[in-house]
Structure 1
């Protein structure tokens, strides 16, 4: 692709010279780590459950290949296309999440998955990117058109998501979506008093979850009081980081994958620490930090409020998901079953994260004046065109 000329006016040519190639390259690196760590962690997990040693690897090869295609295809969208696919995707994800409460597969006391012939799908994973874009559109339309109740509708959609995720229950996913929503409200100019009320409501919600849900209370109690309860998984993960040291024990030489049932998913970062050492772990952290920081820096020069709000929400959800996974493995926060983007095993996670990055790349592409005009509401194009050529 580097050989494409700047004068190439094809779809691929225009995409290559307008997309953020640094972020795209970082995504490629994360997908590469995903393949390597699946080769390291998944055979032992598959053998322990009596499946073929290559089962998880073969599935993840397909998942990550699809994720790469989704990133490229989604990043080709115009701003209008981003809004349309987000609205349709949000409605479908809401319906599918509601369906899990009736026909969902129950795992460890939670109904979050819908069983399909070759895999299980977690619809709530797709709520994160689509909700961020829909919220940005609603807030911007509310400010642009006074008669449009954008803020009210945004809170209404969030309320529906809150009820659905509380019923599953999936407090971790609800926490991430809530943080994304609060971030967008803050960037959108919500009164600081109301922001403070929102933060207070989040604190009250965590207390409520601690009181009502036994699994939340158990995780928080074990985190705050290490002498109580079963700490086998986190102790094993921390021991793996210690065994890895600076340079790691070497590919295939780790032992944590033989001991933890979720070594290929929730604790894949511990596998990386044991086999490849602290330097590789810091490099992985640096890749995530680079994607988040580069996106936020690009938004400083952006004058479209929809792009700013939508991209902020997307990158907040992406960075927060990575932080929760890695911090849980290092016992910096209570354990939470959340995947490491592009690296942990999981089809729903890989595709939803790919949608997040694809939408993010579509929003932050460099746009000509003509393309910006095409993305405007039809009623405003005439005035904008007159101003453009005045």
Structure 2
């Protein structure tokens, strides 16, 4: 046991970090390995790979992901801002380079190969973007004269433009949701609400008429008879076949017929083999992490920490909800991983970075450290 009286860096971290949230994240990582063992073998065999190829790769990425999660949770808010600026700048450069040098898969350029490793830059843009937006809105709360809304809009526009050029509408929608949520939390004016809602509708309409891929997915969702719904139909059927307790490990059939059963549709594999009970446990873990993060974020005195932790929690929760909703055919299909469970190195490392920042921002700190002041001085407005 670590004593509270110890003042070592590890002891200070251990008694200030949210250990329950840390445990829930560890449970999701463990669940991801177990579900990959169940879901990935048929996919690997079809591709002529070792049956445990995807499991081994996931464990390979999981080791640095845990290091990133724990290392990031040690950072101060000031260090988080500085690191996010570096990560965002590098990711934006890679995002632009992907449009030219990236590998085209299914009509989109989202991946770039660096030193023999496939990287999806958009995954790393997301958490860094949330931090920078939170910093802008936090500064606006402390300095109303600062034109943070304009800067936030320009930053949002630059990210969305690059994502739409790939195109990647799933990530675009996710970033737009988080940006809008933080904008709302910062106290936007009514005129901004109408303007943003109108812009969102215009953007959706333009995407529908200008991009055939988007139109086909929306049409299939509204009218299944208008196109091929093979993957969605089988994913939904797997929940019926699995029942409450599932058919048992290795007894499922959906993983043998879906090409993305180890990634986008791993939740359907979990439902068929382990049952709805396990799915509800997974949903409960996601809900616990999001609610826990939002609750602790609300206690933060520093506006930046409050907005940043909330934004990252919303990002995590929204991505989880989108993936599970697609598996249940509640929303149109989108290529988005289930956090810490689906296969994917870029996704795993990015999520570890984002949730490590959540753990760091929600640690119990003195006010002076929250505000990033030297000498431990608390702002006069807070001390009064």
User: Shorter-chain TM-score: which interval?
Assistant: over 0.9
Of 124, 133, 139, 2:131 maps to: 133
Partner of 1:297: 295
Partner of 2:25: 27
Paired residues of 2:302 and 2:370 also in contact (CA < 8 A): no
Which blocks of at least 5 consecutive residues in structure 1 are unaligned?
none
Partner of 2:246: 248
- Distance in 2, Cα, partners of 1:305 & 1:14: 23
Question: Residue by residue, what CA displacement relative to the aligned partner does 1:327-359 show, whole Å, maximum 9, x if unpaired?
Answer: 001000001010000000000000111111001
- Distance in 1, Cα, partners of 2:358 & 2:265: 27
State how many pairs are aligned: 384
**How large is the Cα RMSD of the aligned pairs?**
1.8
Question: Residue by residue, what CA displacement relative to the aligned partner does 1:69-92 show, whole Å, maximum 9, x if unpaired?
Answer: 111110100011111111111111
SS at 1:52 equivalent: coil
Partner of 1:384: 379
Question: Residue by residue, what CA displacement relative to the aligned partner does 1:199-227 show, whole Å, maximum 9, x if unpaired?
Answer: 22212211111111111111110000012
Partner of 1:239: 237
Partner of 1:314: 312
- Distance in 1, Cα, partners of 2:127 & 2:321: 17
Question: Residue by residue, what CA displacement relative to the aligned partner does 1:95-117 show, whole Å, maximum 9, x if unpaired?
Answer: 11011011111100000101134
Paired residues of 1:182 and 1:195 also in contact (CA < 8 A): no
- Distance in 2, Cα, partners of 1:53 & 1:118: 22
Partner of 1:357: 355
SS at 2:224 equivalent: coil
Question: Residue by residue, what CA displacement relative to the aligned partner does 1:149-198 show, whole Å, maximum 9, x if unpaired?
Answer: 32222111111111101110001100000111111110001113312321
Farther-moved stretch of structure 1 (362-371 vs 51-60): 362-371
**Is 1:74 equivalent to 2:69 in the alignment?**
no
Paired residues of 2:368 and 2:378 also in contact (CA < 8 A): no
Offset of residue 384 of structure 1: 3.3
Paired residues of 2:16 and 2:364 also in contact (CA < 8 A): yes
- Distance in 1, Cα, partners of 2:378 & 2:29: 45
SS at 1:50 equivalent: coil
Partner of 1:222: 220
SS at 1:112 equivalent: strand
- Distance in 2, Cα, partners of 1:124 & 1:323: 19
Partner of 1:112: 110
Which blocks of at least 5 consecutive residues in structure 2 are unaligned?
none
Partner of 2:93: 95
Q: Structure 1 382/330 Cα, relative in aligned 2: closer, same or farther at 3 Å?
A: closer
